[in-house]
Amino acid sequence: MTPATDQDLEQVQAQFQALVMPHLDRLLGFAARRTRSTAEAEDAVQEACVRAWLGFAGLRDPAKVRPWLYCILRAVLADNCERDGRRQRLVSITRLEDEHEALVGGDDDAVLVEVDGRLTAEVIRAALADIPEDFATAVEMHDIDGFKYQEIADILGIPIGTVMSRISRGRRLLAGAIAANQRAWLRDDGKGERQAEARRAARAGGIEAHGGLTS
């Protein structure tokens, strides 16, 4: 085998940067919602990029670089969580679903109805932290990061039917978590607008990039 030349290495590095750089902001956002600080999120993304570079030869299809990067980042985050011995704080699933049902008046599938741009990234991040990781990841990958069902199934290693089920239930849990958080903040500061915001969030039930809700 002919040894790689400096020119060959430069070409590979240029290809790597061209493929990876466009996805760094999304990766950072995904990591930020699973870490305690921006610094931790940046460290996780940096480690993921190092692992991606070391395994770059294993990327057979450049068109699939985004799900490939997410797989690597999820592995980094899982390793960090296991190393630190942290467990995600979870709220009762039943209580979150009850919150959602109470606010939408029992409207079974009336989710993703309208956009509410006033919901901040902080509100969504807090709500995502309150629901089980399996549901949070599926909803976030679909509604925030725009992955298709099959791509999510490939990344998570689960059947596509399971992906669809987790997204459907996860949206309701997320809406319930947002409503529960907004109720708590309302009690603290007495701002009535947040109660209305909680109702709109529950009726929408989905999320999009940069802290909004979307269908």
**DSSP one-letter string for 76-123:** HHHHHHHHHT-------HHHHHHHHHHHHTT-TT--S-S--TTS-HHH
CATH number for the segment(s) 93-204: 1.10.10.10
User: Per-residue pLDDT tens for 97-127?
Assistant: 555 555 554 443 443 333 344 456 677 777 8
Residue 161 has pLDDT above 90, yes or no: yes
Q: What percent of the chain has pLDDT over 70?
A: 64
Question: Is the pLDDT confidence value at 138 over 90?
Answer: yes
What is the average pLDDT score of the chain? 75
pTM of the model: 0.65
Query: According to the model, what pLDDT value does residue 204 have?
Result: 52
Domain assignments of the chain as residue spans, ordered by start: 6-84, 93-204
Is 160 or 101 the better-scoring residue by pLDDT? 160
Q: Quote the distance between the C-alpha of residue 8 and its chain's center.
A: 36
Query: Which residues, in sequence order, are CB contacts of 5 under 8 Å at separation 6+?
Result: none
Judge contact between 114 and 200, C-beta under 8 A.
Answer: yes
Classify domain 6-84 at the CATH topology level: Rna Polymerase Sigma Factor; Chain: A (1.10.1740)
| Residue 185, pLDDT above cutoff 80 | no
pLDDT in the model for residue 92? 53
pLDDT greater at residue 93 or residue 171: 171
pLDDT value at position 45? 96
Are 6-84 and 93-204 equal in CATH topology?
Answer: no
